[in-house]
Structure 1
């Protein structure tokens, strides 16, 4: 009998700065309900799914900055989503801004949690590849993630979800081959990720027509080269004056896009992922045990 996991990608339209946390969580609950109605077993939400993408601004007041962060998960405003997961028997991966107290200090991470179909916490990932700068740069799209977030310190963990090995990634991580390779070497069969990506970059207007191509390209390559299913959820549309690309998708280990959103608004796509396809793809090209055995290769420094 084939092993399968029905994956839902829950794209959101823009989340304006004026939106309350309660309003936003309500939208996410509705998306999870739609995913469940479509037969999903797991869902993924975007990066920073609870707030606007605030790193587009320079903010100096730390108290104001911390209003975008979650001191605990679930918290009073997000508990509804966890309760919905338990009611619907559908787990999820959720991107959010994490306020952590570690090593005797307060730390800020761009985080994604994996939650089970019982609404219980399974595992956490913190974004490794933090892009942008700490100060605005002339001629460059303002993207101040390095001002507000530390690089992740949890590596690329992979978790068991209903007998399936699931890893997580966030936004800029998807552009780096190391992300997929580390997840694969750690045993991942499915990678879930969320992103917020501008439609236009001031520093590269000549590449504007390639934004969606460059969005999908590394994910398709990562899925193919590492024999993974990928579910990628975007925040889309015009958010606080900045256009976000959308293009949420589910990608097979063949590198093919199995499903893709058609809008720049709240939308759910679902695909029943055949996990046995992973083994088929490994037999064709990427049998690591056969082709990547260290004892089969001599280093340049080895004597002949």
Structure 2
């Protein structure tokens, strides 16, 4: 049963500290209009789409920091509402990443899935695997990553969900017939991650165990984070090449190992003339092949026609979980956090 949809990653280039939010939203709407021209049904925007990637900076006051956060219902934010209005007008579902401040005062690195057909947010995700440090590096030339300072780890888990209005003639509860198979025949099953989550196979597997067919994530990944990663000496060019390699590697490998499509969307470019973020937005198929990828380091729409039916071979043959998984041997996965080596000889 073919279940075809047209999807896109909306890569977003450099955003400086003094770039106004209205200017950013105008750029996002331009990408959304381009998507409408290509009859795209779903667009994925990057992590922390609306501002410069502020965890690179150390802020001294809460007031300074809070201007980068959204408070309350983002769809009703005067600054951001025009993006959701355009999504509704164009009939395009969107995934948007942003910094969220809750009523309790907690900060989260968040993204939401907005359904144009339902005219509302269907699902929210908060980043689980926060990289970086709480305190900045002593070296004044270091590129900092202070997510652990500004955000709490996500508390919503990995919620898979179905997105209506994208594929016609799917099986619904109201149309289900006695004895009818529903596997691979309902509305698409989606999951969201953010940036560093893509490096953790546990995150992908949590979604895969719920039948996910498409995983979507945005990222802000530094091209030269030598202090953070503690890697062997490299030139900035070598470090950026390595960062791009790893970004593509984890997306392709996990798409294959979980028999699902994936869309990654980069916030990229040289912020404030100093903070170099990689591009490399891509769309991968369930065999791990890149079917479309970014060609620039700026604002760019990456489009692909995908058929979710292509997930069935991997899910039902190569990685038929019900036949091949051996959960009795995986006990350490949810019982142990750090490494415990075997005893010395």
TM-score by length of 1: 0.93
Partner in structure 2 of residue 249 of structure 1: 282
Partner in structure 2 of residue 227 of structure 1: 259
Q: CA deviation at 1:157?
A: 0.4
Partner in structure 2 of residue 215 of structure 1: 247
Partner in structure 1 of residue 318 of structure 2: 285
Partner in structure 2 of residue 302 of structure 1: none
SS in 2 for 1:258: strand
Q: CA deviation at 1:249?
A: 0.3
User: How is 1:65-144 mapped onto 2 (pairs within 5 angstroms)?
Assistant: 65-72=65-72, 73-74=74-75, 75-101=77-103, 105-118=104-117, 119-138=119-138, 141-144=143-146
Measured in 2, the distance between the counterparts of 1:11 and 1:237 equals: 10
Runs of 4+ in 1 over 4 A off after TM superposition: none
Greater Rg by CA = 2
Is the alpha carbon distance of 1:283 and 1:187 closer, same or farther for their aligned partners in structure 2, counting shifts above 3 Å? closer
TM-align CA RMSD: 1.6
Measured in 2, the distance between the counterparts of 1:86 and 1:51 equals: 23
Partner in structure 2 of residue 49 of structure 1: 49
Is the alpha carbon distance of 1:298 and 1:38 closer, same or farther for their aligned partners in structure 2, counting shifts above 3 Å? closer
SS in 2 for 1:156: coil
SS in 2 for 1:13: coil
SS in 1 for 2:15: coil
Measured in 2, the distance between the counterparts of 1:68 and 1:164 equals: 33
Partner in structure 1 of residue 7 of structure 2: 7
TM-score by length of 2: 0.82
Q: CA deviation at 1:294?
A: 4.8
Q: CA deviation at 1:136?
A: 1.0
8 Å CA contact 1:82, 1:120 repeated in 2: no
Tell me whether 1:170 sits opposite 2:194 in the alignment: yes
204-213 or 115-124, which moves further after superposition?
A: 204-213
Aligned length: 295
Structure 1: gaps (5+ residues): 300-304
